[in-house]
């Protein structure tokens, strides 16, 4: 299988090679094979990660998706994020044949996050509420066909406008992360299924991106959609398009924001949420997009979960990720000869 979009990859590869050639030789403790799209490779396999990993005895080796995976390596760990059913079958077959290798993450678990109908179900089932806050999901409706029926479906479900509209399937493309806001019922029939409708929750224009790497948790604030008042809603009509709202350029960490809006969720709540989702999803590498309901201190909504997100945008990601790799079980029992 061939992965498209390799522009600029030669330059990026040379930068990594220069890092690998510099510095003293450290015995290899862990060999990590990676199969990533060119875009993910560029954002994740940065020289600062490769250099730190080398100093810690971690060797990264690019996997060629056009060659048989079992003929490459040997690997202790395989990192992967490539599109398509064909790759899922390849990595699952490899996982079955090589149980000694840690595959991050199992393809069947990853597939669970490719559908927004099932994505948030594990959060909904949690009913997570304690002294540190409540975590829930917005009311959600899945539409797979016949856009003319959407207004009736929305009315029957008792949804309040506006509605957030998202593609049902998440395939890694920019289009699958686009969203729309529908302000009136008549416009709903203009939408193109398959899609998911979520009730919009006012949240002060701030979103919390919760990055999870094994047991490590890092929270970054992003600017998000502003609040919509009842008066504004009466004036607005139609469907408005918003490309990737919470991109890295919209970081809110250094902004002078109202503390009641931007205060981070309490750590015990995040730790419990991350622990429960790791177990239920069967994943180690993911992030959770969460908002705080405006006017509350501790009512939160999870609105998206993403597998192997843009860790390159996470502060100190290279330290967090290399520590995680060295904490994996095989490093405890597998001794490699010095290289």
Binding-site residue positions for ATP: 116, 166, 198-209, 224
What whole-number distance in Å separates Cα of residue 302 and Cα of residue 36?
27
Residue 281 Cα to chain centre, angstroms: 13
Helices (H), the chain: 9-21, 38-44, 47-55, 85-97, 107-111, 116-119, 121-126, 150-157, 230-235, 259-262, 267-281, 317-327, 330-333
Residue with tokens 């990192």: 79
What whole-number distance in Å separates Cα of residue 102 and Cα of residue 95?
8
Contact present, 265 and 208 (Cβ < 8 Å): yes
Residues within the annotated binding site for Mg(2+)?
A: 289, 304, 306
Residues within the annotated binding site?
A: 40, 81, 116, 166, 177, 198-209, 224, 289, 304, 306, 310
Residues within the annotated binding site for 1D-myo-inositol 1,3,4-trisphosphate?
A: 40, 81, 177, 209, 306, 310
Q: How many CB atoms lie within 10 A of CB 172?
A: 18
What whole-number distance in Å separates Cα of residue 334 and Cα of residue 100?
10
With CA atoms as reference, report the closest residue to 90 among 30, 31, 35, 38.
Answer: 35
Burial of 94 (0-12, 13-18, 19+ CB in 10 A): buried
What share of residues in the chain are helix, strand, coil (percent, to 5)? 40, 25, 35
């Amino acid at each position: 299988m061939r992965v498209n979009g390799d522009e600029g990859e030669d330059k990026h590869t040379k930068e990594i090679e220069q890092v690998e050639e510099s510095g003293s030789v450290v015995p290899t403790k862990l060999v990590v094979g990676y199969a990533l799209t060119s875009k993910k490779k560029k954002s994740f396999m940065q020289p600062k990660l490769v250099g730190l990993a080398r100093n810690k005895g971690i060797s990264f080796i690019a996997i060629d998706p056009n060659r048989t995976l079992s003929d490459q390596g040997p690997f202790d760990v395989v990192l992967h994020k490539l599109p398509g059913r064909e790759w899922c079958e390849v990595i699952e077959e490899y996982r079955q044949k090589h149980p000694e290798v840690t595959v991050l993450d199992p393809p069947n678990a990853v597939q669970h996050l490719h559908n927004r109908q099932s994505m948030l179900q594990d959060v909904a089932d949690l009913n997570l509420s304690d002294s540190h806050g409540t975590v829930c999901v917005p009311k959600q409706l899945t539409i797979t066909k016949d856009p003319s029926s959407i207004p009736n479906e929305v009315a029957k479900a008792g949804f309040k406008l506006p509605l957030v509209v998202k593609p049902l399937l998440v395939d890694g493309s920019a289009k699958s992360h686009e969203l729309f806001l529908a302000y009136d019922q008549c416009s709903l029939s203009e939408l193109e299924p398959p899609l998911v409708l979520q009730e919009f929750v006012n949240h002060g224009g701030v979103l919390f991106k919760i990055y999870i790497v094994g047991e490590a948790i890092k929270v970054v604030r992003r600017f998000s959609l502003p609040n919509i008042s009842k008066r504004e809603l009466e004036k607005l009509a139609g469907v408005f398009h918003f490309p990737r709202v919470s991109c890295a350029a919209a970081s809110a960490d250094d902004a002078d924001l109202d503390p009641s809006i931007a205060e981070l969720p309490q750590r015990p709540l995040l730790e419990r949420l991350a622990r429960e989702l790791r177990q239920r999803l069967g994943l180690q590498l993911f992030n959770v997009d969460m908002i705080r309901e405006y006017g509350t201190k501790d009512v939160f909504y999870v609105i998206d979960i993403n597998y192997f997100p843009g860790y390159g945008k996470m502060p100190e990601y290279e330290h967090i990720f290399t520590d995680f790799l060295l904490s994996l079980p095989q490093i405890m029992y597998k001794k490699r000869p010095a290289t």
